[in-house]
């Protein structure tokens, strides 16, 4: 295979990045674009040998990187952010080609956020501290020690942004990293390796290996030298990773998606509520935080539905490189089949498609709203991860909260109400890692992020990220006992 491919004029190396060098594999896999289904190129397909090499490189680089002063680690992370900002256009077009998300979103929001991820954790590192405290005259001092090599396994729906949400704090903490991107969208991770090397990151501190989870992922997550594993993806895969990590008691951080509710009360600003609901089609519904279960108070359900249908009907679906496009394709034919299967089974069980409910040409699925769905039905209980919403009604606040919490998940929830006291009562009763009131997708890296129930294990963001990526140490010092060195 060719070492590099041309993606819309951007050269991308398709080999692994291990120990500061490009490494080929005997096997490859085809990476295709969801825009037209055409192959982009062949990508190195790693297995146990590449996993072993990457962990060895990370292990060997760890002592020096862990000993690097905080200020120097922070400087290098800012240098990586500078490199990202210089290549925003290239990163945006490569990622749009690779995963089908909107080019305008990548340019204006996603890639700038990638740079911000590095800058935020670089700055947070420099102020990371815990005030000393006393116990019977003894001084307690809390410190965050680097843990060791970290395996970071990232998803395909926002490849580079979600990868750097993990990579940046892991590196800031003084750890070395083995990044394994999703096989459906591996290309911007390769560009990140180039950017990090150009920024001066030492060899072996960041390694990028590509391939299938069953072939390379298992070898990474079961390795005894790996000290942290962070994964974003599905519950079944997370269970396999947890089982693999159990032999070494390797700590895990798992973000596993959800089935989030969007509650609309009769006292809400209905136009705002409709806008929030239509926003759930963002990224063709491939957003883990999406409020896919619309729960609307009975007295306004008819008017809400009328306005929703009108607004959703105005969305433009098509080529994500077109500035006028609102919804692009779904990532892969297999994912499209999964989405369509959910909808077909729901309709067979009595659901009604108010809008959508069918495929379009290529890898596009029409924005869909299903009503007449039972609370225990598959489409209400399981994550579809496509442009499919359900609408149910409730009579009062208690029923709203009960329906909202009645799934196995608990990642997020969105609430539309004009009553601040109701907002406090309802949010207190919701099982969710993040709750938005009269807004959606407002995220600050200072805040804890993660899910309850099957939506995940642990929290990251701000100091919570360093708590995960470090071994916390408390040093207790007696007031006496030191020799006088004066």
Q: Which two tokens stand for residue 417?
A: 């109400």
Helix axes 298-313 and 270-278, enclosed angle (nearest 10): 50
Q: Which of 50, 288, 460, 470 is catalytic?
A: 288
Q: Is 86 helix (H, G, I), strand (E, B) or coil?
A: helix
Q: Look up residue 374 and give its DSSP letter.
A: -
The reply to whether 288 belongs to the active site is yes
Residues linked to residue 143 through DSSP beta bridges, in sequence order: 473
Neighbours of 400 (CB within 10 A): 26
The answer to whether the beta carbons of residues 359 and 365 sit under 8 Å apart is: yes
Q: Which two tokens stand for residue 334?
A: 């297999």
CA distance 367 to 278: 9
Residues linked to residue 8 through DSSP beta bridges, in sequence order: none
C-alpha pair distances (Å), 451 with each of 87, 103, 169, 426: 33, 29, 19, 18
CA distance 333 to 36: 11
Greatest Cα-to-Cα distance within the chain, rounded to the nearest angstrom = 85
Among 93, 430, 415, CA closest to 273: 415
The answer to whether the beta carbons of residues 438 and 269 sit under 8 Å apart is: yes
Q: Which of 50, 255, 297, 460 is catalytic?
A: 255
Q: Which two tokens stand for residue 168?
A: 């940046």
Instruction: Report the catalytic residues.
Output: 255, 288
């Amino acid at each position: 295979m060719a070492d590099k491919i041309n993606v819309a004029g951007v050269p991308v190396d398709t080999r692994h990045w291990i120990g500061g060098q490009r490494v080929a594999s005997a096997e490859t896999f085809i990476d295709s674009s969801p825009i037209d289904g055409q192959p982009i190129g062949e990508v190195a397909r790693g297995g146990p040998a590449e996993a072993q090499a990457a962990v060895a490189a990370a292990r060997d680089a760890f002592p020096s990187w862990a000993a690097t002063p905080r200020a120097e680690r922070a400087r290098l992370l800012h240098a990586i952010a500078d490199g990202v900002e210089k290549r925003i256009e290239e990163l945006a077009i490569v990622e749009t080609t690779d995963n089908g998300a909107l080019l305008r979103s990548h340019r204006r929001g996603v890639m700038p956020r990638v740079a911000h991820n590095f800058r935020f954790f670089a700055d947070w590192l420099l102020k990371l501290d815990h005030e000393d405290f006393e116990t019977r005259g003894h001084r307690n001092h809390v410190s965050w020690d680097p843990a060791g090599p970290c395996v970071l396994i990232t998803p395909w729906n926002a490849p580079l942004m979600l990868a750097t949400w993990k990579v940046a704090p892991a590196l800031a903490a003084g750890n070395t990293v083995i990044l394994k991107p999703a096989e459906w969208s591996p290309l911007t991770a390769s560009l990140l390796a180039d950017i990090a090397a150009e920024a001066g990151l030492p060899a072996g501190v960041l390694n990028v290996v590509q391939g299938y989870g069953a072939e390379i992922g298992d070898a990474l997550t079961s390795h005894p030298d790996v000290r942290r594993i962070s994964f974003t993806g599905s519950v079944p895969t997370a269970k396999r990773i947890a089982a693999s990590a159990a032999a070494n008691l390797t700590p895990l951080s798992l973000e596993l998606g959800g089935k989030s509710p969007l509650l609309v009360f009769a006292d809400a600003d209905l136009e705002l509520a409709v806008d929030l609901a239509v926003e759930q089609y963002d990224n063709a519904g491939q957003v883990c935080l999406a409020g896919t279960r619309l729960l609307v108070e009975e007295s306004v359900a008819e008017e809400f539905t009328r306005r929703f249908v009108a607004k959703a009907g105005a969305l433009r679906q098509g080529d994500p490189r077109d500035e006028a496009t609102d919804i692009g394709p779904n990532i892969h034919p297999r994912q499209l089949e999964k989405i369509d299967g959910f909808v077909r089974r729901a309709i067979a069980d009595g659901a009604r498609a108010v809008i959508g409910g069918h495929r379009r040409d290529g890898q596009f699925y029409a924005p869909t709203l299903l009503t007449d769905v039972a609370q225990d039905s598959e489409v209400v209980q399981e994550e579809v991860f496509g442009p499919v919403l359900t609408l149910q009604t409730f009579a009062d606040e208690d029923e709203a909260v009960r329906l909202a919490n009645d799934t196995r998940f608990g990642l997020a929830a969105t609430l539309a109400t004009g009553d601040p006291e109701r907002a406090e009562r309802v949010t207190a009763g919701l099982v969710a890692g993040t709750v938005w009131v009269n807004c959606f997708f407002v995220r600050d890296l200072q805040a804890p992020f993660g899910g309850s129930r099957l939506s995940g294990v642990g929290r990251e963001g701000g100091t919570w990220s360093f708590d995960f990526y470090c071994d916390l140490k408390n040093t207790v010092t007696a007031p006496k006992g030191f020799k006088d060195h004066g």
